[in-house]
Homo-oligomer: A and B are copies of this chain.
Amino acid sequence: MGTPLPRDPIADARLNWERHGWSDVAAPMAAITAIMRTQQILLGRIEAVLKPFGLTFARYELLALLSFARSGALPMNKASALLQVHPTSVTNAVDRLQDAGLVMRSPHPTDGRTTLIELTPDGRALAKRATAVLNSEVFGQSGFGDQDVDQLIRILGTFRRNAGDFSG
């Protein structure tokens, strides 16, 4: 975590795979490892930008999701499904956002099992400010070329559909 390595560690791993007789899966191994590492880099950038706002990516994602909901409120299970994380992760995020006064829990009007999460005015304002900075500092300077962005969206979209994320 510091100075650049003299060689690409993933390319090296691929060579090791090939040397050990696993040539047939060396390329996908390298691609998957590269996805892991890229996610790590991107998450680091995002967290660095959100830190001054007192937000983590998990909390930001929830705020952003709520800010796009017509009523500014969503059932927790809906948020869990849309964010594609475990329900306990949503509980965790809501606890902290609630402590920070950014969201509120309220009972569902007709289903006693369900809890609605609702943005507070503070939460809505913070989501707006954080999104602006995230757009300019991270998404606007992703380092991916326009064509590569399209390729990624296509390749990963196919993958996610095949993995059962969505049926559309």
Q: Which residues of A contact B (CB under 8 A)?
A: 1-2, 4-11, 13, 16, 22, 24-25, 27-32, 34-43, 68, 80-87, 131, 135-136, 138-140, 142-144, 146, 148-153, 155-168
CA distance A2 to B40 in the complex (A): 25
Query: Nearest Cβ distance between residue A128 and chain B, in whole angstroms?
Result: 9
Interface-centre pick from A139, A148, A164 (highest chain B CB count, 10 A): A139
* B residues near A36, Cβ cutoff 8 Å: 39, 42-43
Copy tally for this chain in the complex stands at: 2
CA distance A31 to B146 in the complex (A): 10
Query: Nearest Cβ distance between residue A108 and chain B, in whole angstroms?
Result: 19
CA distance A40 to B42 in the complex (A): 14
* B residues near A34, Cβ cutoff 8 Å: 152-153, 156-157, 160
CA distance A34 to B154 in the complex (A): 10
Decide yes or no: A37 and B140 within 8 Å by CB, A8-B165, A164-B4, A165-B8 being known contacts.
no
Verify A29–B168 contact, CB threshold 8 A.
Answer: no
Query: Nearest Cβ distance between residue A25 and chain B, in whole angstroms?
Result: 4
* B residues near A7, Cβ cutoff 8 Å: 166, 168
* Between-chain CB contacts (< 8 Å), 11 pairs: A1-B85, A1-B86, A6-B167, A22-B131, A34-B160, A35-B38, A35-B39, A35-B42, A38-B39, A39-B39, A41-B165
